[in-house]
Amino acid sequence: MLNNILKVYGEDLFNGAINKASATGDKVIAAGQSGGALTVNVFAVGTVTTAAQATVTVKDGASESGEFSSLLTFTIAADKTFADGELIATAILPQETKAYVTAAISSATTNSGTIRVTLGYLAR
């Protein structure tokens, strides 16, 4: 079990290219009240290269169609290259996470590649 990441398939918060100024994930996932048992993982899909800094913001909200506010922010440094499937960043969802989560990115057109922001289970 050591060094394994238990992925939640089909529940990506964001899955797309990072060569744009900003983008929002197209899914809202029910993840609240998980008691600190879920992580948010950012993976490279294919080769990812950052010429400029990029940020991934995970947001939470009380309802699926309501307002969302910033919960976690990941910063991906400039001048980095990540291989296909490489874990770029990870964090545990806080216990006070509201019922629903989604994600958005802020990046630059000089960056290339695709990232997958997804939930993962913490092994217990």
Query: Tens place of pLDDT for every residue, the chain, 124 residues?
Result: 445 676 666 779 999 999 999 999 888 998 877 777 888 999 999 999 999 999 999 999 999 998 999 999 999 999 999 999 999 999 999 888 999 999 999 999 999 999 999 998 876 6
Could you tell me which residues come within 8 angstroms of residue 40 by beta carbon, excluding any fewer than 6 positions away? 13, 58, 72, 74, 90, 91, 93, 101, 103, 117, 118, 119, 120
pLDDT of residue 6: 63
**Nearest by Cα to 11 from 91, 87, 117:** 117
Distance CA 14, CA 21 (A): 15
For residue 3, the model assigns a pLDDT of 58
Which pLDDT belongs to residue 62?
94
**Among 87, 59, 57, 92, residue whose Cα is nearest residue 75:** 57
Q: Give how many domains the chain has, as a whole number.
A: 1
Whether 1 is in a domain gets the answer no
- Nearest-5° angle of CA 80, CA 69, CA 103? 40
CATH number at residue 68: 2.60.120.1110
Instruction: Write out the two tokens for 82.
Output: 């990540």
pLDDT, residue 1, reads: 43
20 within some domain = yes
From its phi and psi, is residue 3 left (phi > 0), alpha (psi between -120 and 50) or beta?
left
Chain-centre distance for alpha carbon 54: 12
Domain range enclosing 22: 6-121
Question: Is 57 contained in some domain?
Answer: yes
Residue 105, in any domain of the structure: yes
